[in-house]
Amino acid sequence: MGVDHGVSADRCAGSGALPKNLLHPCLLLLLKEQQGYGYDLVARLKKLGVDDDSATVYRALRTLEERHAVSSHWHTSSTGPARHVYRLTPAGEEELDAAYAAAVDTHRAIQRYFSRYAAAEGALSGDLESVGREGAVQ
């Protein structure tokens, strides 16, 4: 019988497992790699494991534009509709750098958590083995 860790399996499945505040840094990263338009960015986000709908992505882009982290312009084409193309600004570059530094700190904290969890699980397993051998925990 497994240990109940207080988290249901369905809460961990799918896109809901990623923090919602990851969308902005991911958009900034994608725009650092290459400018893009909304639907292109939605598709590229999916490759990063961010599966937000296009309305959410467009709202995030508007917010980033209001903060001057991204800028946009209309790109017209003879083969299709005009598209709003987004690019990273110097302010967005700074925001991306800060988000990266924060993510590194978070990653380290999560690694410490995993290490302590593994150690606690190992200690628990050792306790259970001694119970099985001797009938009581030493």
Query: Tens digit of pLDDT for each residue in 12-37?
Result: 334 445 666 889 999 999 999 999 99
The CATH number that applies at residue 92 is 1.10.10.10
- pLDDT at residue 6 above 70? no
Is 1 inside a domain boundary? no
pLDDT at position 10 is 36
pLDDT at position 129 is 52
Is 4 inside a domain boundary? no
Look over the chain and give the mean of its residue pLDDT values, rounded to a whole number.
80
Tell which wins on pLDDT, 52 or 11. 52
**Look-up: residue for tokens 């590229």?**
44
Structural domain count, the chain = 1
Is 83 inside a domain boundary? yes
What's the angle, vertex CA 18, arms to CA 51 and CA 30, rounded to 5?
55
Is 2 inside a domain boundary? no
Q: What percent of the chain has pLDDT over 90?
A: 52
Question: What is the residue range of 74's domain?
Answer: 9-134
Is 3 inside a domain boundary? no
Q: What is the pTM of this model?
A: 0.72
